[in-house]
Amino acid sequence: MAHTFKQPLYLRPDEGMCKGVCAGVAHYLDVPVKLVRIIVVLSMFFGLFLLTIVAYAILAYWLEPAPADEASAERSRMAPSQQLDLLELRLDDSEQHLRQVERYVTSETFGVRNRFRRL
């Protein structure tokens, strides 16, 4: 079974956690983004750390972000379950970010820096 790739490979920063490389590769290969992320993390753990980082950096530099009109058109073609998955991923990312901010604001480091700023 030969798969032809009709769409170009783009970065998907609006769907990505860092630069959108994994999300772009997932859209290009038409596989779930979580699968690509799991493969990337596993490759880093199983001895391909440097190769994975170099490949990610090259793709992040070389690829262009997806055009805004294409991204919105693609979202409108998505099934409702896929849209919910995308929203759930964004909500999870936002929750993780909020937890990090909360952890920092309640830490001693924040208190000490805040006291130094007042001096």
User: Per residue in 32-54, pLDDT tens?
Assistant: 888 888 888 888 788 777 887 88
Backbone angles phi, psi at 43, to 5 degrees: -65, -35
Angstrom distance (rounded) from CA 17 to CA 119 = 37
Angstrom distance (rounded) from CA 50 to CA 47 = 8
How confident is the model at residue 55, as a pLDDT? Answer: 79
110 pLDDT higher than 60: yes
How confident is the model at residue 18, as a pLDDT? Answer: 75
Predicted confidence (pLDDT) per residue in 54-75, tens digit: 877 887 787 777 777 655 555 5
* Residue 68 burial by Cβ neighbours in a 10 Å radius (0-12, 13-18, 19+): exposed
